[in-house]
Structure 1
Amino acid sequence: MPYVFSQYADASVFAVCLLAAAVVVFVFLGTRLALIDARTHRLPNRLVGPWYLCAAPLLVGAALAAGEPGHVLRIVAGGAILLAFYLLLHLIQPQGMGMGDVKLAGVLGMYLGAASWEHLLLGTLAAFLLGGAYAAALILTRKASRKSMIPFGPFMLVGTAAALLVG
């Protein structure tokens, strides 16, 4: 995630190591969750819950070790904002957005918030554009209908990764 790393170019080795650990956790759990959701339409709490417990201290620790206490607010607020947004979508249309997606949104919001407010918006927009394009392609090829259930977690994860990589 080059953009996030570029913010820490002059930071301590400890800060960079904490951020690198957060990236490793993102890649490992993100890949695992994307594959599980694509196959089962589920994002297991046993993976999403611990991700919060890993990501929060790593991202906050990296920000503090880099001497960027302002980033802590963005990390926490990013997670809360994205979780609240997805929860609102779930409450409006429960069949359209599962609670697994809602829970995943919070942890992804922390990563996006660690980068910037713009990344929070970009990552969210990318997820919906990618998921929408995929759904449209399935409908156009008659492999799905408007009522078909499509796992959204993989698009959330790819959208977040893309936003963090592009910067």
Structure 2
Amino acid sequence: MSGPIRRLLAVRVEGHPLVATTVFVPAMAVLFGLLAWRLGLHVELLAYSALAAVCVPLAAIDLVEQRMPTKLLLPAYPALALLFALAAVIDHDAAAMVRSLLGMASLFVFYLVIALVATGSMGAADVLLAGLLGLALAWRGWTILAAGAILGLFYGALVGAVLIALRRASRHTPIPFGPALIAGAFTALLIPFD
């Protein structure tokens, strides 16, 4: 595992096999391969690969520490926007770029409302992550955006319900929500909903 990622995790890797190099790197490689298989060799693959490169460590950090560092989240916004803008220029598809920006704003606002209404249910980083995922999901279309948002909520609720049923958590136990959002987004990207 690289030095910057190890510093971001700020935990002893040997104590957490989930983020060990033997799992971390292959998980990212599999995700890159699945994205290439699903999307083909188009310019937008660069943006989705960058998203995967950010989301895998974010999910690992959130699972281990129940936080997602803004050091990873905030730089991902302009990086993805630039890569999607490049794809829009090359493909002559300004509508996709506008849709991506609207999707980013809509998913950000949607999760912000949830965070404000259900106090303590999710943190500011979850809301930031939702906006980033909205940018990527909406590029593929409104159906993909809706599917990713719904699946993220479903996965989060399912994990919470299972943990409560197994008495590993209560209704008041904080559960990392970032991995569910990420899993929902990549499920929507990889399964043909369009």
* TM-score with structure 1 setting the length: 0.89
Give distance in 2, aligned partners of 1:130 and 1:61. 32
User: Which structure is higher in RCO with an 8 Å CA cutoff and minimum separation 6?
Assistant: 1
Conserved in 2, the CA contact under 8 Å of 1:4 and 1:114?
A: no
Change (3 A) 1:3 1:81: farther
Q: State the Cα distance separating 1:5 from its structure 2 match.
A: 2.5
The equivalent residue for 1:161 is 186
Letter in 2 for 1:116: G
**Contact 1:64–1:72 (8 Å) recurs in 2:** no
Q: Distance in 2 between matches of 1:38 and 1:111?
A: 22
Q: CA deviation at 1:4?
A: 7.0
Per the alignment, do residues 21 and 2 of structure 1 end up closer, same or farther by CA in structure 2, a change over 3 Å counting?
closer
Show structure 2 runs of 5+ residues with no match. 1-34
For residues 184 and 115 of structure 2, the distance between their equivalents in structure 1, rounded to whole angstroms, comes to: 19
Give the aligned partner of residue 34 of structure 1: 59
State the secondary structure of the residue aligned to 2:167: coil
Kindly report structure 1 stretches of 4+ aligned residues shifted beyond 2 Å.
1-6
- For the residues of structure 1 that align with 2:39 and 2:67, how far apart are their CA atoms? 31
Question: Residue in 2 aligned with 1:122?
Answer: 147
Is the 2:36–2:45 Cα contact (8 Å) retained in structure 1? Answer: no
Correspondence list, 1:147-158, <5 A = 147-158=172-183
One of 118, 122, 135 as aligned partner of 1:93: 118
CA displacement, residues 96-149 of structure 1 (integer Å, 9 cap, x when unaligned): 011000011111000101000011100001011111111111011101111110
Q: In 1, Cα distance between the equivalents of 2:110 and 2:74?
A: 19
C-alpha distance in 2 between matches for 1:27 and 1:89? 25
Structural mapping, 1:72-151, within 5 Å = 72-151=97-176
Deviation at 1:58, TM superposition (A): 0.4
Is the 8 Å Cα contact of residues 126 and 159 (structure 1) preserved in structure 2?
A: yes
Q: For the residues of structure 2 that align with 1:47 and 1:94, how far apart are their CA atoms?
A: 24
Query: Residue type matched to 1:34 in 2?
Result: A
Go from structure 1 to structure 2 and tell me whether the alpha carbon gap of 1:116 and 1:4 turns closer, same or farther (over 3 Å shift).
Answer: farther
Instruction: After superposition, give the CA deviation of every residue in 1:24-64 in whole Å (9 maximum; x if it has no partner).
Output: 21111100000001111111111000110210110122122
1:5 matched residue in structure 2? 39
Q: Distance in 2 between matches of 1:45 and 1:144?
A: 27
TM-score normalised by length of structure 2 = 0.77
CA root-mean-square deviation: 1.6
1:23 to 39, 44, 48: 48
